[in-house]
A and B are shown apart, each in its own frame.
Chain A
Amino acid sequence: MTPEADLGIFAISVAAGLIGALAGVGGGILVIPALTIGFGVDIHLAVGASIVSVIATSSGAASAYVRDRMTDMRVGMFLELATTTGAVCGAMLAAVVAPAFLYVLLGVILLVSAGAQVARLGEETPPTDPPSSLAVRLRLQSSYPDRKLGREVSYSARRIPLGFGLMWIAGVVSGLLGIGSGVLKVLAMDVAMRLPIKVSSATSNFMIGVTAAASAGIYLARGDVDPQIVAPVALGVLAGALIGARLLPRISSRSVRLVFLPVLVAVGLETIGRGLGFGL
């Protein structure tokens, strides 16, 4: 890598970390296309770089989110059961699935998440219904301080089995593509389990590091983690994530979704095009 390329990768990684911390995605979902399309990095090395940077985003942002009571640690730990086992299955599949297929799958994930963002643009907090007996038994109900609304927001998890199943799939995708599959985690908590979007985002951030760590050892042993590429990515993503973690409690859910919608659509389409063999 030339110093110019290092600087370019660092700058893109700062943006990816900032966006990742706010949206609950590790930033890897933007880092992979940037490295492969922008800098001609081999897909396997790009996946290796992103899985490491996902852990940096997760731990960096989560350190603030846990302290600020944005993260629901019980929801996080319960769903990590599903994501870690899924991630192991996905990482074993990665060796036998073709890169072109990985691109298309990554693109579809982005577009699906963009659709869900549109559907929920007008909603600041989910409707409050009495908690289900399963939510009570598993203690998946809590509250968080919303600094934008200036009050404590109570919530309880719905459709817990569906959320758990989606989380397993999110884990498989994570292991397969090397991304934290944060978009799928946020979707599972936001759309399926009806948790507030900020709690979904912060809890997703808390979880993606563990999901990534479950398969990171496999990528490391395979020689997919190249410090020449990973170092500027990890440092940039971390800086961006620390900024994003300060912003999330203070902005509206609507602004979070509005910032990322065009990014998700653009990168999703670009990545699918790449997978289908159109040079970009």
Chain B
Amino acid sequence: MIDQLPEGKSIGWMQAPPQWIFTHTVRFIGVVRVVIQDGEGFILIKKGKPLLYYFKHGRIELRGHAALDYFNSHPTIEFNLCKYTPEEFSQALKICNVEETMPETEIMQEQAPAALAQVGVAEQTADETPAITRAEQPPPEQPEKAEPVTEIPVAAIPVKPVATVPAKPVAVTERPLVPQPAVLEDPDIKIIGQIKKLNGIVAISVFNDDRNILLMGDVEIEPLLKIARTMLATTNKITPHLDWGSFVHMTLQIPEGNVIIAPYHENNLCILTTRTINIGHIRRILRDLQQDRTQGVML
């Protein structure tokens, strides 16, 4: 099914907690392609509303909440946001056999049984919160009932076991969708994606004191964050002693390349580049970003 989906316009690969996807796609229409180890899947999304979760690993296919639970069983997942045109989106709906007018919960439940029967995992009870809220509060574990009939043991994929309670229709209005507060807006992701596409940019991360919010690029985030935080600590130490205006960026150059940190809204950017990068170009971008920020312009 994944191969049949329209390609869409890639915004970029990222690493983030699965919850991030649900809180940052309020204006996004398209598919989020997910890669976990050797398996791949997707979440079809229309303006923050997940219409279908799907994941395939070998002959194991997970759909609906089983796929969502699998995504949620990972602290971070790697994914690619691909924007759809209205035509591409309609095509994707047809391929996924999803009717756009159907309430979200029903869509996911209706899709689930056929696919799950294949792997012997039944769908979760219908009486649960919609996906966006559930991402913040994963459902409690329940005993597994059906046996897998696949080549690869289900244990190979750490999916939380789910009960075989048949899906019941549920009034979606009882539990309305509550959008989570967005940390990064769609335009922000676009900007970060554009910076990542520049020649010489190896990786770019948006981070705060607690965690990495977004990462584009193929690097291990923890060592990079450690360095970025050390640099940030240096700037925090020196800034109060300098009457030089607001902090724009700090660039550390080593023979292998550059690490750049810069404030970005209430968060920070960390950019890893090759040595050949045009620092002047990056500097202009960072200055522009900060000017926009100080002028209160929504990026």
> Do A and B bind?
no
> Which B positions have Cβ atoms within 8 angstroms of A?
none
